[in-house]
Structure 1
Amino acid sequence: MLDVTHEEWLRRAKELDLPGAHHIAGADEPGGGASYAVVSPRDGQVLTQVADGGTAEVDAAVAAARRAFDTGPWPRLAPADRGRALLRIAELLEERRDRLALTVSLEMGKPITDAYAIELRAAINTFRWYGQLADKLTDESPHTAPDALALVTRGPTGVVGAVVPWNFPLTLASWKIAPALAAGCTVVLKPSENSPLSALLLGRLATESGLPPGVLNVVTGDGPTAGRAIGLHPDVDVLAFTGSTAVGRHFLRYAADSNLKRVWLELGGKSPNIILPDAPDLEKAAATAAWGIFFNQGEMCTAPSRLLVHSSIAERVTETVVRRARELRVGDPLDPGTEMGALAGEGHLKRVRDHIGTGLDEGARLRTGGDRTRPDSGGSFLEPTVFDQVDPGMRLSREEIFGPVLSVLTFDDLDEAVALANATEYGLAAGLWTSDLSTAHQVSRALKAGTVWVNCYEEGDLTVPFGGMKQSGNGRDKSAHALEKYTEIKTTWIQL
């Protein structure tokens, strides 16, 4: 991929054969005939028409998943065999890496370099990691009375409904699908209506790899219709959702109104990134702060959107962030030199710009950016944006913007920094920059966040869990802990 030019990506984009049908029970299904247009945010052009699924299509997909779980071979395979199936999926993802990266870039505006090097790498590694883990889990036999044998075993929960957003369409789908399949569950995936194409290709690829029919089904459609149907379906045993806190509340209600299915939620964030005067490298800390908020166009629930800087170094750090923002190359996502692509669409661009307008109205100082850019492209592009003189009570500091907009706040002591960091309804992630080991441990413990990065940001691998506290959700993706969402614990007591 590294030697593919902009012109070559443009040529491939014109020749790309994109899917449009649901993938149910191992076959493409057009559904009831309704469809909607998938529009590329890079130029505002229609990529293709995709089946618009509703209750009937969800019913068919859930029925296929139910059959595959209740009577099919998948849950009854030896774990090593399930692991080998996941490894085959990883191999096919690697073989189709160029095509899948191009599809992701076209459907959600991510730079092609990031789609290939980060998004596809994450998806491949996820299936590979859980494929290797599948036969390495153990049950328990607690020590108990001498005249009894106690066994604690884990088994697959059943049919999993997975609903994922558009910002990392393959990564987040893989984080749900791979551990669920490793556990022996079957899956109905509903991708975002903005980015359904890569998910449909993943469904086809899984069937091609030899996955039995009905083990992985993909239904396209919007949240209020298809997503709601999955949430309310009595034959869905587990719901795994990544998205907004508001929609997460809906899924909890759906579970209460149906079969009390488990609901695992990875929701929004307003992550703080704290830089102390004793940071080991202030230039690196500031540069990483800029990278973190502008990576993926700021469309990340973990984006470090609140930069908390000690007042003694605030101007120095802010100047570096502003300089980095102005140097950032915003361009066509299909240009390998592009560092920041398009926002997910016109509706999302408008919401982000509304937040910028509110910040100005509230009295925050705009240091750079704030305007639409590349208007002649027809795409949804925004300048990297930095505000300082942000008050903790401003909406800029409290609400998730999900765009390339940074708010800089200052503090005078460590207790104030921790209080500012925790002064949010969210608790997904946080960053801390310090050379003091004791400070690193104490502040990390005090921060109400599921992940704390010290002297780095967005680092880690599949060995560590990912998830949030407070209104950022519950449960964990990644690591062996993810299997807890898709397995049931059973106690067997044998009297000897």
Structure 2
Amino acid sequence: MKQYQMFIGGQWVDATDGEIIETTNPYSGEVWATIPRGRAEDAERAVQAAQAAFTSGAWPKLTASARGQLMRKLGDLIAENAELLAKTEVTDNGKLINEMLGQVKYLPQYFYYFGGMADKIEGAVIPIDKPDTFNFTRLEPLGVCVAITAWNSPLLLAVNKLAPGLAAGNTFVLKPSEYTSASALEFAKLVEKAGFPPGVINVVTGLGQEVGEPLVTHKLVKKIAFTGSEFGGQRIYESAAKDFKRVTLELGGKSANIVFADANLDNAVKGAIGGIYAASGQTCVAGSRLLVQRSIYDRFVERVVEFAKTAKLGDPMDVGTQVGPVTTPPQFQKILDYIDIARGEGGECLLGGKKATGPNLGAGRFVEPTIFGAVHNRMRIAQEEVFGPILACIPFDDEDEAVQIANDSNYALAAGVWTENMRRGLIMSQRLEAGMVWVNMYRAVSYMSPFGGHKRSGVGHENGMSAVMEYLQTKSVWISTGLETPDPFVLR
């Protein structure tokens, strides 16, 4: 059994009180590792280490170019250790090896991209309207940032925060989900090997209320970057407001995947399947509402049902598996509860609708790919995030009705549009309330393109050039070049 320690101030340490949390393989059901159960004292140690690294360590003395070189070296180490990191994630969260290996192999690009941006962060000289005055701006790091990540894609979610924040010159305390902390601790080994100064990146583990909350409320913390539930994001937002901390919140979604009659239906079927059953529906951008134009609704939904029947459930380490287990016991029960809720509201279960059983399903935390018809948009199954392999099918007549249904949601993270009419695709991308709109594709992300939502889907964006600005503050510098100071009682 693996026994992990936390990484604080460049040292590998146990929790102050020595307590641990057992971490379980979602597929086998077996305890395979232990992680420290951090408390407020451990949060304090980590924040103090990050503050020291930001103010007086080697980190602030590095040139921006040297900072970028360190980041690129870390990217190289991730590439060299991609298989280990991916297998760790699969063992910890049960997602498919194909998906996690692809994600991990892509992570170096984040450090190359943002590492290359580190020495291109520039202020500006302003042609100020005051005589005998030189005015310019400086873009400066915030200081200690806390990154809190969810259990579904632990390293990707962490790197989304670390890469732009490090490029800007900040230091970090990373707090992964207590369900999936192992990959973050394996990642910390690479941080140490890359030669980052002690305290620049710290990793603390434990429960949210025991170590996460002390991190969020710490007076030295200047920013919190969080990916997780709407409830968790709301609590963090309220807490951060008390000290006017900066926040980035990447929360949930109830994304509409919209299929028009003129779409390439073969591709749209694949898009509908991939939008909900990839990652067993455990993704914030899941296309969990399938909106289909009424003229093709029956035959299209029938095709989706037939395709979903072929999905192979099984060991996530098997490259042939297409749907893996649900990561956590509470989430497993939540999904089953929502199936009952959908039935109770009058939804017609067209496929699945129960716990999956079979000889190749390990400990059995699997839910059958499930499809509900006879859904209207006021049902809970259409309004609330399930975070599981459940698809709600809703018919519509025309563009206006599709937009009305899609936008009738508390969430605004993502949307998909399937049509061969590019004019329609562009217009829909404008009218849909979503932070990201995919046309004739679904569930694509890049370090180059902003990722984030509106409404209750979050605040701020990750990825893309603008992500660095989330970790910078602007300072305006005024220098008088005049020989005399004018009337001190008059605003210049």
Could you tell me the TM-score, scaled by structure 1's length?
A: 0.94
Asked if residue 275 in structure 1 is aligned to residue 259 in structure 2, the reply is yes
C-alpha distance after superposition, 1:250-288 (max 9, x if no partner): 10222234x221121111100001111122x11101111
Aligned to 1:260: 244
Matched ranges for 1:96-495 at <5 A: 96-117=81-102, 119-145=103-129, 147-257=132-242, 259-279=243-263, 281-374=264-357, 377-495=362-480
C-alpha distance after superposition, 1:337-368 (max 9, x if no partner): 11111111222111101001110111111111
Deviation, 1:19, is 4.7
SS in 2 for 1:129: helix
Conserved 8 A contact 1:75-1:156: no
SS in 1 for 2:394: strand
SS in 1 for 2:199: coil
SS in 1 for 2:395: strand
Counterpart of 1:319, as a letter, is E
Aligned to 2:487: none
Q: Distance in 2 between matches of 1:399 and 1:321?
A: 22
Counterpart of 1:323, as a letter, is E
C-alpha distance after superposition, 1:396-435 (max 9, x if no partner): 1000000111111001111111000001000101111122
Conserved 8 A contact 1:275-1:432: yes
Aligned to 1:12: none
Q: Which runs of 5+ in 1 are unaligned?
A: 1-16
Conserved 8 A contact 1:465-1:481: yes
SS in 1 for 2:466: helix
Counterpart of 1:338, as a letter, is T
Aligned residues: CA RMSD: 1.3
Larger radius of gyration: 2
2:45 to 35, 52, 60: 60
Counterpart of 2:64, as a letter, is P
Conserved 8 A contact 2:65-2:118: yes
Counterpart of 1:419, as a letter, is Q
Counterpart of 2:455, as a letter, is K
Q: 1:459 to 1:235 in 2, by over 3 A?
A: same
C-alpha distance after superposition, 1:298-356 (max 9, x if no partner): 10100100011100011122122112211111110111111111111222111101001
Counterpart of 2:8, as a letter, is I
Conserved 8 A contact 1:62-1:159: yes
Query: Which sits farther off after the overlay, 143-152 or 387-396?
Result: 143-152
SS in 1 for 2:295: coil
SS in 2 for 1:313: helix
Asked if residue 77 in structure 1 is aligned to residue 62 in structure 2, the reply is yes
Conserved 8 A contact 1:283-1:320: no
- Where does structure 1 differ by over 6 angstroms across 4 or more consecutive aligned residues? none
Asked if residue 22 in structure 1 is aligned to residue 6 in structure 2, the reply is yes
Counterpart of 1:217, as a letter, is N
Conserved 8 A contact 1:432-1:453: yes
Q: Distance in 2 between matches of 1:440 and 1:325?
A: 26
Query: Which sits farther off after the overlay, 65-74 or 428-437?
Result: 428-437
Counterpart of 1:480, as a letter, is M
Deviation, 1:441, is 2.1
Q: Distance in 1 between matches of 2:442 and 2:249?
A: 22
Deviation, 1:245, is 0.9
C-alpha distance after superposition, 1:366-403 (max 9, x if no partner): 11112222465214111111111111111110000001
% identity of equivalent residues? 39
Conserved 8 A contact 1:103-1:197: yes
Deviation, 1:243, is 0.6
Query: Which sits farther off after the overlay, 145-154 or 304-313?
Result: 145-154
Q: Distance in 1 between matches of 2:429 and 2:67?
A: 38
Q: Distance in 2 between matches of 1:283 and 1:313?
A: 13
Counterpart of 1:318, as a letter, is V
SS in 1 for 2:241: helix
Counterpart of 2:278, as a letter, is F
Q: Distance in 2 between matches of 1:74 and 1:122?
A: 26
Deviation, 1:460, is 4.0
SS in 2 for 1:338: coil
